[in-house]
Amino acid sequence: MSNFKRIAILSALVALVGCGGDGGGGGGTTTPTEDPPVLGSGVALTSAGGSASGSDEATGGRGGNLIIASGGNLLVGVNGSPLSPELPTAPSSGATVTSWTNVQTINSGTAFIKGTVTASSTGPEATLNITAGDLVIQGSLVVGSSEPDLTINVPSGTVWIQGSIRTGRVDGSANGDEGGHLRINTQNIVFTGSVDTRGEDS
């Protein structure tokens, strides 16, 4: 069986998992999964719709589609994951990046983010440029209260995310604002920290 057929079959099966929410009164098309899958308990793809109660017209939200595309074989639940690769050693010295508004550029060498650094903007985007070295994020990089998009340009080096990056839920209000987009343009990324781009509740 070709890779394309494997992918198509799996996509069809996964698409069926996400069909429809649970209706109220008259009943729905799927039974939602109330509890999240337990990590380490085996393969689990869950995309059931939400539940509803009340009249026959009440309908829970549809589950989201899950689309997986692979250029090679796509194996689910067949083999255990490979051993983690040995991590390279991050740089240990360089310039310190401080909080900035709109654009900050470090023109020489490696740069570090330590502690909590805020990237603010008077427009839609805050940008950090490291033109001739690496960027090591050991602390927390957060966007300002207007929650702009965040762009990090490290064209000739590596971005080390050992700490955290957050582009949403920073203004202290639950009014449904979107999380800012995060774009990282670099040669390599060594990712052992966290990235949070969630939108706000409402």
* Statement to judge: residues 184 and 106 lie in one domain: yes
Chain segment 37-61, per-residue pLDDT in tens:
555 555 666 666 777 777 777 777 7
Q: Single out the residue of 185, 61, 198, 57 nearest to residue 130, CA to CA.
A: 185
**Can you tell me the distance from the alpha carbon of 17 to that of 173, in angstroms, rounded to the nearest whole number?**
34
* Statement to judge: residues 61 and 133 lie in one domain: no
Structural domain contains residue 30: yes
Chain segment 94-135, per-residue pLDDT in tens:
999 999 999 999 998 999 999 999 999 999 999 999 999 999
- What 3-state DSSP class applies to 82? coil
Chain segment 140-164, per-residue pLDDT in tens:
999 998 899 999 999 999 999 999 9
The range of the structural domain enclosing residue 18 comes to: 1-75
**Can you tell me the distance from the alpha carbon of 20 to that of 61, in angstroms, rounded to the nearest whole number?**
7
Structural domain contains residue 157: yes
Structural domain contains residue 138: yes
* Statement to judge: residues 65 and 113 lie in one domain: no
**Can you tell me the distance from the alpha carbon of 54 to that of 183, in angstroms, rounded to the nearest whole number?**
44
* Statement to judge: residues 31 and 124 lie in one domain: no
pLDDT of residue 96: 96
* Statement to judge: residues 102 and 71 lie in one domain: no
Average pLDDT, the chain: 78
* Statement to judge: residues 69 and 101 lie in one domain: no
pLDDT of residue 110: 97
Provide the number of structural domains found in the chain.
Answer: 2
Structural domain contains residue 202: no
